[in-house]
């Protein structure tokens, strides 16, 4: 995929993702926070099952356990994020959740790139990458203060 298109699509999905925490928080007011996370993931799982079946990639599921164990924890990480976001959005708002999430993602991603873990190539740490993390931290502070 073209890098420019990849950035645009990811930014669009990021914008849509900003809706997730307040939507789930609204569901949480009716069901409870953890129950809302379960409902959210159940509906997402059903939607993905339809997409996998329609795409013809269901056969690939047979290789699920042919990977290292840590490649299977993504769903747990997603559940932790969704649950945390739907609880914290009440305190720091959708902007605060988005800012803190992006800051945490970038900081850890820069470290992952630097170390070259999880099958990624090593990317050197640079002043601009560190500055990006610092600026996001400052931006998060300004959004949530």
In this model, does residue 135 exceed pLDDT 90?
yes
User: What is each CA distance from 135 to 76, 100, 126, 128, in whole angstroms?
Assistant: 29, 12, 14, 10
What are the start-end ranges of the H helices in 1-145?
A: 3-17, 20-31, 33-55, 74-115, 127-144
User: pTM, whole model, 2 decimals?
Assistant: 0.79
Q: What is the pLDDT of residue 15?
A: 87
d(CA 25, CA 83) in angstroms, rounded, equals: 9
Q: Is the dihedral of CA 91, 32, 17, 76 positive or negative?
A: positive
Residue 18's pLDDT is what?
85
Average pLDDT of the segment spanning 112-133:
93
Residue 17: the pLDDT is: 86
């Amino acid at each position: 995929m073209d890098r420019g298109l990849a950035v645009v699509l990811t930014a669009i999905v990021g914008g849509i993702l900003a809706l997730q925490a307040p939507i789930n928080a609204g569901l949480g007011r009716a069901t409870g926070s953890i129950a809302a996370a379960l409902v959210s993931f159940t509906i997402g799982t059903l939607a993905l099952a339809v997409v996998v079946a329609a795409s013809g990639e269901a056969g690939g599921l047979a290789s699920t356990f042919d990977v290292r164990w840590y490649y299977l924890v993504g769903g747990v990480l997603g559940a932790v994020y969704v649950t945390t976001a739907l609880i914290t959005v009440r305190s720091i708002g959708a902007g605060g959740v988005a800012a803190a999430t992006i800051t945490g993602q970038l900081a850890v991603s820069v470290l992952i790139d630097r170390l070259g873990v999880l099958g990624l190539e090593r990317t050197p740490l640079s002043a601009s990458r560190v500055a990006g993390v610092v600026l996001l931290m400052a931006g998060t502070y300004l959004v949530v203060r």
